[in-house]
Amino acid sequence: MTKPRWVIQEQLQRDQPIITVRQLLQQQWLLPKRFVHYLRSRQQVTINGDYRHMNELVHPGDQVIMGFWGDEFRTAASHYLPTVGPQLDVLFENRDLLVVNKPAGQKTHPNQPLETGTLLNDVAGYLADTPSQAYMVHRLDQQTSGAVIVAKNPVVVPILDRLIAEGHIHRQYLAVVTGIFQRPRGTFDWPIGRDPQDQRKRMVNGAAAKEAHTAYEVLGTGAGQSIVSLTLQTGRTHQLRVHLAHSGHPIIGDPLYNPGTGDRLLLHGVQQQLILPFREKLRRISAPVPNYFPSVLLKYYQN
């Protein structure tokens, strides 16, 4: 059998609990059952150089190596056309992922096979001379700037998807909105669906609405505007923009939900609170706030 295309090698920490191989892979590392099935049937998980059955135990300091061929994954290959000489603002990088600072006005990913100029094209160009490839984990709206997680191998994509879905990866945003809030903090929990009058837009209680939750905290006010910190608890399309507009405090510069109020959407993904796959370590990665945010309000934000 040929060598696997992707190899993940980890040494277990000193505080590693003594559990079975299966518990390590599925419960601790959050590998999908399909991945574990292939690791078992192909005997491509070794502990200290030897294959171990799924009910055998692992111990602190053990060396774990896993091999993957590609048929384990929904999308094994990345097909983004690489940007030549990309100007990429990398905030964090390790073996498995990147966190990059997307500028406002750039799309996160292509919508057509030969499309270029998106953030994922730039990441593909950045990784072009390495064994890694770019895999999308989540996206930001084109007008929104800030921190975006991009996977470098297909092994970690479902792990990151699950961490986001279960609320273990927290995405914090900063927005400048119209008006003054009555309450300094709270949660928006209005369901969001499609706007039947405009296919570009979403709306509260729209068509095929799904639950959506956004936590907010007002950091400061001035000149009839407020600067708010926002934390996504779900990930619906345009969620922050729709929730704020429905609350009566639309984002300044929002061309869809607050037109005519500015040239730039004042919404920025300011921080990713990230759990690193396989290491279970918490990292907070911040993206500098763009200089076009109003300084009179930005002074209230403490990074």
d(CA 232, CA 173): 8
Per-residue 3-state assignment (H helix, E strand, C coil) for the chain: CCCCCEEEEEECCCCCCCCEHHHHHHHHCCCCHHHHHHHHHCCCEEECCEECCCCCECCCCCEEEEEECCCCCCCCCCCCCCCCCCCCCEEEECCCEEEEEECCCCCCCCCCCCCCCCHHHHHHHHCCCCCCCCEECCCCCCCCEEEEEEECCCCCHHHHHHHHHCCCCEEEEEEEEECCCCCCEEEECCCEEECCCCCCCEEECCEEEECCCEEEEEEEEECCEEEEEEEECCCCCCHHHHHHHHCCCCECCCCCCCCCCCCCCCEEEEEEEEECCCCCCEEEEECCCCCCCCHHHHCCCCC
Query: Of 96, 122, 141, 254, which one is the catalytic site residue?
Result: 141
- CA–CA separation, 244 vs 232, rounded Å? 12
Residue 270 main-chain phi, psi, to 5 deg: -85, -20
278 near 97, Cβ under 8 Å? no
Closest to 136 in 3D by CA, of 86, 100, 85: 100
Tokens 């966190």 identify what position? Answer: 99
Q: Could you confirm whether 141 is annotated as catalytic?
A: yes
The first and second tokens of residue 272, run together, are: 């990713």
Residues carrying an active site annotation: 141
